Amino acid sequence: MTKSFALVDCNNFYVSCERVFNPRLNSVPVAVLSNNDGCFVARSNEVKALGIPMGAPYFKYKELVERHDIVVLSSNYALYADMSRRVMATLRYFCPRVDVYSVDEAFCDLDVPDQFDFACKLRKSVGEWTGIPVSIGIAPSKTLAKLANHYAKKHPETGGVFVLDSDEKIEALLMNTPVEDLWGIGSRLATMLHSKEMYTAWDLRSADDTWVKKKMTVVGLRMVWELRGISCLSLEEAVAPKKSLTTSKSFGRPITDYQELAEALSAYTARVAEKLRTQKALASALSVFVIPKPDAFGNPLYTYQLDMVLPEPTAYTPLLTHYAKELLQRLYREGVSYRKVGIMLDGLIPETIIQPVLFPTSPVSTEKQKRVMAVMDTLNRASGKKALRFASEGFENPWKMRQEKRSQRFTTNWDELLSIKI
């Protein structure tokens, strides 16, 4: 029995989430747009076959969309996040160790006798329990598992599962994989490798270790060892705490009014403060930035940012909002049209190691404030986002992202649950 990694990757994840709750979308071309319905961020296989590239602006392909009756939807992040949690929960039920790599990918420690049979059953269970189709690649290292997964996804004859369980299979796959397709190889690095007549993953795997370390650092050397089946990237089950947190979104329309800008910033501050408390951390510093609408040539007029060190680390939303709005007042210019505002919390420390200042100059975090925030977070998790909110966030939110084609939030909003007529 050989210990291996399995990379489980959801197929066309955003599109698959939409199809779970709307079977009419099965086998028809479907695409999902980015924030403010700007670009394509997910495409069904039917849309990919029509030649619409990832990240392409929607307006450039409107004629093609209409000609082929492509169903175009706005991003429904609440739905996608919840479906991702369901997929990962299913993986954890079957696998003792799971490393969540992204919203639609996870590595699993596959320490079982018959890896192919186990992976087939796992793929079937994820599909039955969540409705999301997945592909699974299995190999002795994470990098090889990534390549195996890509092969499983692109070759239907594999049944969605591909195991690199022999030297012959590994060599054949690496010899047919362009070096630029490797995990971690960018365009500049690929150009350098091409200049050294290294065109495939097999060429890189066969390179001299000393040369690789000199030209690609120790990170590149680890990649080469991973291609040789030597595991250098361990399974990370616990997500490392973030050193900073940022929340910002482009507005659905340009904003000139200070009050609307302040409402948007207050809402983003509440969101990032909730993330901070989830991480059980406190922020020591705060930054606010604003980005105006581009000029006639598409160039931004400026990007302004102001920073401040907080009197004392805190995760208390009203206090963070107070300081954020102080910075916004200094940034705001009357008559300027703004397209984005954002907030970043920095200098994050665990809430257990706070050291109070001797002579505080402003209200400090207290146990009472902590309890208030805990009650608010609990109610919002149980009843849906914004069940409780601060008045400074506003209620109508005319600045919100444009999502004219968004589907219902089937799993996270009581008012949008799926209705079935009998």
- pTM score, two decimals? 0.73
pLDDT digits (tens, 9 = 90+) for 229-275: 999 988 775 555 677 888 887 787 888 889 989 999 999 999 999 99
Walk along the chain (422 residues) in steps of 10 and give the mean pLDDT of each run.
85 95 93 85 94 91 94 90 93 92 91 91 96 96 95 95 95 95 88 94 95 92 94 72 78 85 91 90 90 67 81 90 93 88 88 60 64 85 73 70 74 78 74
Place of tokens 């270790």: 209
Q: What confidence score (pLDDT) does residue 1 get? A: 47
Q: Which H or E element spans position 175?
A: helix 167-175
Q: How far is residue 331's CA from residue 289's CA, in Å, rounded to a whole number?
A: 8
Residue 46 contacts residue 30 (beta carbons within 8 Å): yes
Angle, alpha carbons 350-355-360 (nearest 5°): 125
Q: How far is residue 289's CA from residue 330's CA, in Å, rounded to a whole number?
A: 11
Place of tokens 């995760």: 315
Q: How far is residue 369's CA from residue 367's CA, in Å, rounded to a whole number?
A: 5
Q: What confidence score (pLDDT) does residue 163 get? A: 96
In 205-330, at which residue ranges do the beta strands (DSSP E only) sit? 245-255, 281-292, 304-314
Burial class (CB in 10 A: 0-12, 13-18, 19+), 375: exposed
End-to-end CA distance of the chain: 51
Q: How far is residue 38's CA from residue 233's CA, in Å, rounded to a whole number?
A: 36
Q: What confidence score (pLDDT) does residue 312 get? A: 85
Q: How far is residue 119's CA from residue 5's CA, in Å, rounded to a whole number?
A: 11
Cβ neighbours around 192 below 10 Å, total: 13
